[in-house]
Structure 1
Amino acid sequence: MCELLGMSANTPTDLCFSFTGLTRRGGETGPHKDGWGVAFYEHKGVRLFHDPEPCATSPIAEFVAQLPIKSKTAICHIRQANVGNINLANTHPFVRELWGLNWVFAHNGQLPGFSANSGLYEAIGDTDSEAMFCDIMNQLRHTLPRDAMPDQLAHTLVTLAEGYAQQGVFNCLLSNGDWLFSFCTTKMASITRRAPFGPAVLKDVEVAVDFAAETTPNDIVSVIATEPLTSDEAWDVYQRGEWKLWQQGEVIACGKVDVPVYENGQRVG
């Protein structure tokens, strides 16, 4: 399976520390060597980096890890291919425009034989993940008004996610730049850092940071990942079927739905 990384903050923040830890899992400390991608929101714009090469050895990933791009919302993905060839078109995160905004989506899991409803949005590659994203976008465009509020969006997204989770493993991150939606079928964890800030050490590489020296007392930064990235912090582990809607680093809506039990991608209950 793949791994996800998301960030929601109340002030423009760089992702260098967390991204450095995640990239080690892309072919060094983990098997996710089939490509990677990251999207940084800058107001309505999105700065994108994609590479079908292993991120642990990718010169582009090394460049991004050292580049302090400031963003309030970011989504990253490292891929272990199950469906679709290893190429640039199949590399997450995927981006589509809706209502004048860039929507970014990344998925961890597999929905065997998934078939999307027809609509304006169509997949470019041949992954079930991109097909699901297009299905989400088509249904949002068809069912919600342009000025839909976050609670309306969350209700629709949870309903869709619950349906996808009945067909296979559906862990996802989705954002329009204003908020970040997360849904867990199997594995996901989050941490919110706020004053008083302290040090943190990555699990996958000998890198430490003292957040107190990098932040202000008003900063709130939340990181969402498939598995905790640090070894000395208390992460909040999602339950199966749990979802959260993040904005400005805070959870503004959350809940839990019933989803099947999956082990190693296979439904067992």
Structure 2
Amino acid sequence: MCQLLAMNCAEPTDITFSFTGFAARGGGTDHHADGWGIAFFEDKACRLFIDHQAAANSPIAELVKKYPIKSKNVIAHIRKATQGIVELENCHPFQRELWGRHWIFAHNGDLHDYDPFLSGVYQPVGTTDSERAFCDIMQGLRKRFPGSQPPLDELFHAMEDITRTITRHGVFNFVLSNGQALIAHCSTRLHFIARQWPFTKAHLIDADWEIDFAKFTTPADRVAVIATAPLTDNEVWTTFEPGELILFEKGAPTLRTVVPIPEAVRLRNAQNTACQ
């Protein structure tokens, strides 16, 4: 399947270190070579880069690794196609507008028998189950809160209900952000680390690069990095519980709940793992 990377920060921060290790997994140290993408929020809007080439070999990925764009919320994805052909329109993350802000979404998993009714405001451009799920989420939030965006705690609980419905159809690891906060959900595998003062050194698993964050940070900095698999080998990463949904604000987890994984989905996941 695909892999996810996200970052939520108290102060604008660049993701060049984490993205360098992550991009290597896109056809270099791992087999996720069916496209990639990354989005950087700047207040209400974001910069979005996508490419159907493998991240390990993409000239655009090289640009991103060398271009320290600072942001409080970043979402990235490397793709191993399960639904939808290898084309640009099927590359994550996906972007839509809601309540006058850009929203960004990326998904790792495989949804079965999933064909939600989409009224027309939000429609997929590509052919992935992931983009259908994103349109379903946007439509559900717009229907629930037609006037304006609710407080973040209400938004989080709305996402809990929507996630509960979609996760009945299969593996639904995802990250979602509107530039104010970041929501992450784990069906099968997801990890995070929250770095804060005093910062220490970190060494990438997928590239020979060690960085001393203490040289580039202040006591005001706090950074949460979310990834399918840990990116460093000398830090302690926290493993999400199956079904766990977490809201990250200003570099820290602030709200948590567990959306139970349906028994049929758990059995299917176990069978697929046993066959690998």
TM-score by length of 2: 0.94
Does the 8 Å CA contact 1:168/1:267 hold for their aligned counterparts? no
**Secondary structure, in 3 states, of the residue corresponding to 2:169?**
coil
Deviation at 1:257, TM superposition (A): 2.3
1:141 paired residue number = 142
2:54 paired residue number = 54
**Secondary structure, in 3 states, of the residue corresponding to 2:72?**
strand
Q: Runs of at least 4 residues of structure 1 off by over 2 A?
A: 263-268
Equivalences for 1:129-168 in 2 at 5 Å? Answer: 129-144=130-145, 145-168=147-170
1:251 paired residue number = 253
CA distance in 1, matches of 2:62, 2:270: 33
**Secondary structure, in 3 states, of the residue corresponding to 1:259?**
coil
CA distance in 2, matches of 1:93, 1:207: 26
Deviation at 1:266, TM superposition (A): 7.1
> Any stretches of 5+ residues in structure 1 without a counterpart?
none
Deviation at 1:116, TM superposition (A): 1.8
Does the 8 Å CA contact 1:200/1:232 hold for their aligned counterparts? yes
Does the 8 Å CA contact 2:96/2:102 hold for their aligned counterparts? yes
Which of 183, 193, 196 is equivalent to 1:194? 196
Deviation at 1:113, TM superposition (A): 3.0
**Secondary structure, in 3 states, of the residue corresponding to 1:156?**
helix
Does the 8 Å CA contact 2:163/2:259 hold for their aligned counterparts? no
Q: Which amino acid aligns with 1:197?
A: F
CA distance in 2, matches of 1:90, 1:264: 27
CA distance in 1, matches of 2:271, 2:35: 21
1:124 paired residue number = 125
Q: Deviations over 1:114-159 (max 9, x none)?
A: 1022221000000000000001101110112413111111111111
Aligned positions, number: 268
CA distance in 2, matches of 1:264, 1:41: 38
**Secondary structure, in 3 states, of the residue corresponding to 1:203?**
coil
RMSD over equivalenced CA pairs, Å: 1.4
Does the 8 Å CA contact 2:173/2:189 hold for their aligned counterparts? yes
**Secondary structure, in 3 states, of the residue corresponding to 2:224?**
strand
Deviation at 1:161, TM superposition (A): 1.1
2:270 paired residue number = 263
CA distance in 1, matches of 2:219, 2:44: 27
Distance 1:62 1:112, change over 3 A: same
Q: Which amino acid aligns with 1:121?
A: Y
**Amino-acid identity (%):** 46
> Any stretches of 5+ residues in structure 2 without a counterpart?
none
Does the 8 Å CA contact 1:168/1:265 hold for their aligned counterparts? no
2:22 paired residue number = 22
Does the 8 Å CA contact 1:110/1:265 hold for their aligned counterparts? no
Does the 8 Å CA contact 1:199/1:209 hold for their aligned counterparts? yes
Deviation at 1:251, TM superposition (A): 1.4
**Secondary structure, in 3 states, of the residue corresponding to 1:95?**
strand
**Secondary structure, in 3 states, of the residue corresponding to 2:206?**
coil
Greater helix fraction, Structure 1 or Structure 2:
2
Distance 1:266 1:205, change over 3 A: closer
Q: Deviations over 1:13-71 (max 9, x none)?
A: 00000000001100011110000000000111201110000001111101101110000
Equivalences for 1:197-236 in 2 at 5 Å? Answer: 197-236=199-238
Between 142-151 and 222-231, the greater mean CA deviation after superposition: 142-151
Deviation at 1:267, TM superposition (A): 11
